[in-house]
Structure 1
Amino acid sequence: MKHVAVKALAWDLAADIYLPPGFDESRTYPAIVSVHPIGSCKEQTAGNVYGTALADEGFVVIAFDASFQGASGGEPRSTEDPVFRAQDISYVIDHLVTLPYVAADRIGVIGVCGGGGYSINAAMTDRRIKAVGSVTGVNFGRLMHESFSGYDPIGALDAVAEQRTAEARGEERRVTQYLPASPEAAKEQGLTELDLSEATAYYRTERGEKPNGRTEGLFSRQASAIGWDAFHRAEVLLTRPLCVVVGDKPGAFGAYRDGLEIYRRAASQDKELVVAEGFSHYDLYDQPEPVKIALDHLIPFYKKHLGP
């Protein structure tokens, strides 16, 4: 694995490049950009699970920290802005096409959770992406427009505007914590909803916790997400081959719903919907059986469309 710095808008993105077994820098390889979930980082499921597995199958895989997050640059910190998130993917591709061992015409993208929605959105306008995979992908704009804004997007936008003005005048920043501090805290709060409780079990324990993982978002920068839609114009612009993987145990984040929606709406002539029966959103992050179901479809999908 190589650690690299990717030039973005006015800062660097921290990225890890996973190399295939027997890597030979004089050869050229197909490449895949791996996009991490919301509140996550490159060392979690995007890198250590899917990045590693796809590299083992002969792909060069690059997992990176989003702008304003992890070890990447950008201020203010903990900003989750879908516009920047999708653009980050293109900056990473800019880096890939300069590498002599990457085949510039054989680049794909894979995203987990919110990263799946960002990957789909990026593939609509960056035609350098030749194949797109989404693992339990979530349309973060839809989530923010609905439950994350209390089903009151206008009220939420008013509150965001007020907070941004306050911060511009020097008041303390307001950071939203997406999850309880621990599974024990979740129990004390009576938190039983599937996705929220399983997210806590993943991010707040040794199972998934990493130093750069930050399950938080800056409240004053949420307006962009409330007005954004990962699937906008998919019926026309999403023509690249598409593989959508979801679990059939639906939770509050809506990956099952979003997966079926984008599969239906995508203009792609070559598209596949994979339903991991009996598994949930967070099972597809790192649990061996559902991850194997995902990879058993994703690996041949990428080999077909990016080449061996």
Structure 2
Amino acid sequence: MKTVSFRNKDMYWDIAADIHFPPNFDEGKTYPTIISAHPIGSCKEQTSGNVYALALAREGFIVIAFDASFQGASGGEPRSIEDPVQRVEDFRRVVDYLVTLPYVDEERIGVLGICGGGGYSINAAMTERRIKAVGTVTGANYGRLMRGNFTRLDPIGAMERMAKQRTAEARGETLHVDDLLAPSVEQARAAGVTDRDPLEATDYYRTTRGQKPNGLNRSLLSHQAAAVGWDAFHLAEVLLTQPLCVVVGDQVGAFGAYRDGCEIIERAASKKKELVVAEGWSHYDLYDKPEPVAIALARLIPFYQENL
């Protein structure tokens, strides 16, 4: 593995990434390459990097796991911005970097997105034609979440609060950053959380199971409004034509990845598309638990081999 940082000509900050190389890597050859995108509030050292990137690299792919702008080790100020437009643009920035590397085959670049990174991967591929194949693992449409459970089914009221906070910050008041998860599962339950997804997210991100210094699960309130009006699947019936492999678990929770997976498979214009259901497993099981991850990889590996 090699840790890199790069800045393209149109950028004002650096993107940080880890490049995972296949066994017996030869810099004189060219390789199919996969961009691995982390979940919302996550970082490249978590599931996108230390699980899926490692596994795909072992199968002969170069895999680049990157931190989103304003998050992780990447640049951008203020911190903890979760803006879908920037998140999608990051994919173009990564592709721009990859095509400068002599060992990357520019005609064989694919993408894998986990959770919110899955929705971003789908949206990016619609207009980034250098991406030739799209895979997602428990991919979620962040815009739908922001119009639903993430704003307690009151998107207009939430945007009013965001607008007031942005005005306050423009006048010099302190930034308001939301912690998206409780400090522990016990505290989440004590606060009345009962749904599977936020409880399992807390178990992953707030314990030694998945906790990493840059996996902060924080979001700047004043910059959240753009996501409310965004839709990861907009125009998928026309623009999403690349081969598509969508992996979901059938133990559903409030974040709705199962629903989103079924929807995008139905809507995508892709002639080659497949829904893989990991029966008996949940959204966060697919982040790192060996058995469901094996189910995902059993289809993703041949999918990328066939289409890259």
Q: TM-score, normalised by structure 1?
A: 0.98
Task: Indicate the SS of the match to 2:132.
Answer: strand
Could you tell me how far 1:145 is from its partner in structure 2?
A: 1.0
* Number of residue-to-residue matches in the alignment: 306
Determine helix, strand or coil for the equivalent of 1:253.
Answer: coil
1:279 deviates by: 0.3
Unaligned runs of 5+ in 2: none
Q: Note the residue ranges of structure 1 that are not aligned, 5 or more in a row.
A: none
Does the 8 Å CA contact 1:82/1:224 hold for their aligned counterparts?
yes
Residue 300 of structure 1 aligns to which amino acid in structure 2? P
Instruction: Give, in angstroms, the shift of residue 239 of structure 1.
Output: 0.2
TM-fit CA distance, 1:182: 1.2
CA distance in 2, matches of 1:285, 1:196: 14
- Offset at residue 184 of structure 1 (A): 2.5
Quote the Cα distance in structure 1 between the aligned partners of 2:94 and 2:295. 28
Instruction: Give how far 1:132 is off.
Output: 0.3
3-state SS of paired residue (2:254): coil
Whole-angstrom CA distance in 1 between matches of 2:269 and 2:257: 20
Which SS does the other structure have where 2:292 is aligned?
A: helix
Following the alignment from structure 1 to structure 2, what is the Cα–Cα distance between the partners of residues 155 and 269? 40
Distance in 2, matches of 1:150 and 1:245, equals 27
CA deviations 1:68-117 (Å, max 9, x no partner) are 00010001100000100011011001111000000001000000000000
| 2:218 pairs with 1:211 | no
Query: 1:141 and 1:54 mapped to 2: Cα distance?
Result: 29
SS in 2 for 1:232: coil
Q: Which residue of 2 aligns with 1:3?
A: 3
1:65 maps to which of 67, 85, 92: 67
1:35 alignment partner, one of 24, 34, 37: 37
Q: Indicate the SS of the match to 2:39.
A: coil
After TM superposition, list the pairs within 5 Å mapping 1:72-83 onto structure 2. Answer: 72-83=74-85
Find the counterpart in structure 2 of residue 176 from structure 1: 178
> CA separation in 1, counterparts of 2:292 and 2:306?
22
CA distance in 2, matches of 1:2, 1:260: 36
Structure 1 residue corresponding to 2:26, chosen from 13, 24, 27: 24
Distance 1:74 1:175 in 2: 15
Q: Tell me by how many angstroms 1:156 deviates.
A: 1.4
Q: Distance in 1 between matches of 2:101 and 2:181?
A: 39
Give 1:95's aligned residue: 97
Query: 1:188: how far off?
Result: 2.4
User: In 2, distance between residues paired with 1:156 and 1:197?
Assistant: 23
Aligned to 1:117, the other structure's residue is in SS state helix
Q: Quote the offset at 1:176 in angstroms.
A: 1.0
Cα distance, 1:225 vs. partner? 0.4
Aligned counterpart in structure 2 of residue 107 of structure 1, from 109, 120, 128? 109
Contact kept in structure 2, 1:6 and 1:91, CA below 8 Å: no
Deviation at 1:157, TM superposition (A): 1.4
Report the residue type matching 1:54 in the other structure: L
**Aligned 1:290-305 pairs, distance under 5 A:** 290-305=292-307
Matches within 5 A, 1:198-277: 198-277=200-279
Q: Deviations over 1:119-165 (max 9, x none)?
A: 00000000000000010000000000111112121211111111000
1:28 Cα deviation after fit: 0.5
TM-score (norm 2): 0.98
Fraction of identical pairs, as percent: 69
* 2: CA distance, partners of 1:72 / 1:105: 26
Instruction: Provide the C-alpha distance between the structure 2 equivalents of 1:35 and 1:22, rounded to a whole number of angstroms.
Output: 25
Structure 1 vs Structure 2 CA RMSD: 0.8
Instruction: Find the aligned partners of 2:269 and 2:149 in 1 and give their Cα distance.
Output: 28
Letter in 2 for 1:19: F
In structure 1, distance between residues paired with 2:71 and 2:268: 30
Query: Which SS does the other structure have where 2:174 is aligned?
Result: coil
1:281 and 2:283 are equivalent in the alignment: yes
